[in-house]
Structure 1
Amino acid sequence: MDPLPLVVIRPEPGNAATCAVARALGLEPIAAPLFEIEPVDWDVPDERFDAILAGSANVFRHGGVGLAAFADVSVIAVGETTAAAARSAGFAVARVGEGGLQPVVATLPPGNYIRIAGEDRVTLTPPEGVRIVTVVTYASRKRAVSAALQTSLNRGAVVLLHSGEAASHFAQECERLGISKESLHLACLAPRIAELAGNGWGTVAVAAGRTDKEVLELGARMCQTV
């Protein structure tokens, strides 16, 4: 039996990066971004912060000139991709987390932090003594599933899911178009993403780690085995 195709729906520039690695693994991915990231207007808070909490590389890609106000504030990044984007933008990275921002926040010392985020984000619960000010600097604009992608999905595929928003939107699009979930298999970056995708899929699996490399390797295995 021929391997299933691998569908990548994350927005650019991550989509192209994931597809390039997939090709290096011998796969022929279908690049189908279902989101477009856009900057939004935001006001810089007039106060000092102990650190920046960054849950996405998009913070530094789309934060704009307002980020200059925090040039001397170190970054606590959700993962290595976000940390790399912070360093490229000229920020010092104090800490790199793994498995989401909440585990990082739970261990923060008392202080005043700024969370620079997108419109769609996970709610954080800080411990006592930790104050978090949130500013939104970008938004994900949803795209509909194209006719070409619908045809591919109807034949069966493995779909990479990098975010909870992607999981919810993809599930809604499949329901809207009447695409059979049973023929689709989801490779998810984190357990929360799998939960938000809902039920009825052929297979739902979660990567062992929270990196693009690990979820891609999971997807590659699923293409051969499901």
Structure 2
Amino acid sequence: MSSAEPLPLVVIRPEPGNSATCAAAREMGLEPVSAPLFEIEAVDWDAPDEHFDAILAGSANVFRHGGAGLAHFSDVPVIAVGETTAAAARSAGFVVSRVGEGGLQPVVMTLPPGNYIRIAGEDRVKLSPPEDVRIVTVVTYASRKRAVPAALQTALNRGAVVLLHSGEAARHFAQECERLGISKKSLHLASLAPRIAELAGNGWGTVAVAAGRTDKEVLELGARMCQTV
């Protein structure tokens, strides 16, 4: 593939992140293919009636879809997995005490002894806290999978670079390609983190991992791959 014919960039993350990533891609001069393969839905949940030292938040969806139950913890500081999650927490009226990098597990290993609540989605990374750290987990949202539409299938069969923002996206996309008989060899994956790349499995044309855990960095990686793979 010559530089005059770059591969298309496919964005499969759910909204509102999909639109944000595609807008950023257009600012870079790309024409992304927007194809959300997930829809985020709120689920019913009960707020535990106890004191917590902090909220552990691994996604901005915690604050987008947490609903009225979040009011029970309005005075509890938030420990966010990254800056996007932190921004969503602040927009919802929470005070952010810490912003991590590289996932929640490294953050958990450095927590002082205490009682923490993890507000999360159905699909989440298992955490292994130190003995003196107690974590109560509540689920407030779920990602509902969508099938690959016909138009996207056609684009994928021609070859593309696909951005993967989550482990769930990696698994679902791989399963859809196998179900539809789409050749993995013609597809190149730009992954937000090593775990995401691992969950995508084998057989792809290229699998690369962004230098950092931000949408900007994985988008920049994908843009380079469109020109070079």
Q: Distance in 2 between matches of 1:6 and 1:29?
A: 5
Deviation at 1:38, TM superposition (A): 0.1
Residues 173-205 of structure 1: CA distance to partner in whole angstroms, max 9, x if unpaired?
A: 000000000000000000000000000000000
**Runs of 5+ consecutive residues of structure 2 not aligned to the other structure:** none
Residue 159 of structure 1 aligns to which amino acid in structure 2? V
Deviation at 1:128, TM superposition (A): 1.7
Residues 125-151 of structure 1: CA distance to partner in whole angstroms, max 9, x if unpaired?
A: 001200000000000000000000000
| Residue aligning to 2:189 | 186
Within-5 A mapping of 1:32-51: 32-51=35-54
1:154 lines up with 2:154 in the alignment: no
Within-5 A mapping of 1:76-225: 76-225=79-228
1:16 lines up with 2:19 in the alignment: yes
Residues 46-86 of structure 1: CA distance to partner in whole angstroms, max 9, x if unpaired?
A: 10000000000000000000000000000000000000000
3-state SS of paired residue (1:160) = strand
Q: Distance in 2 between matches of 1:143 and 1:3?
A: 27
3-state SS of paired residue (2:137) = strand
Structure 1 runs of 4+ aligned residues shifted over 4 Å read none
Residue 171 of structure 1 aligns to which amino acid in structure 2? A
Structure 2 length-normalised TM: 0.98
Cα root mean square deviation, aligned: 0.3
Report % sequence identity: 88
Deviation at 1:30, TM superposition (A): 0.2
Q: Distance in 2 between matches of 1:67 and 1:103?
A: 25
Residue 151 of structure 1 aligns to which amino acid in structure 2? T
| Residue aligning to 1:63 | 66
Q: Distance in 2 between matches of 1:53 and 1:83?
A: 11
Residues 20-43 of structure 1: CA distance to partner in whole angstroms, max 9, x if unpaired?
A: 000000000000000000000000
1:29 aligned residue (25, 29, 32): 32
Q: Distance in 2 between matches of 1:120 and 1:173?
A: 18
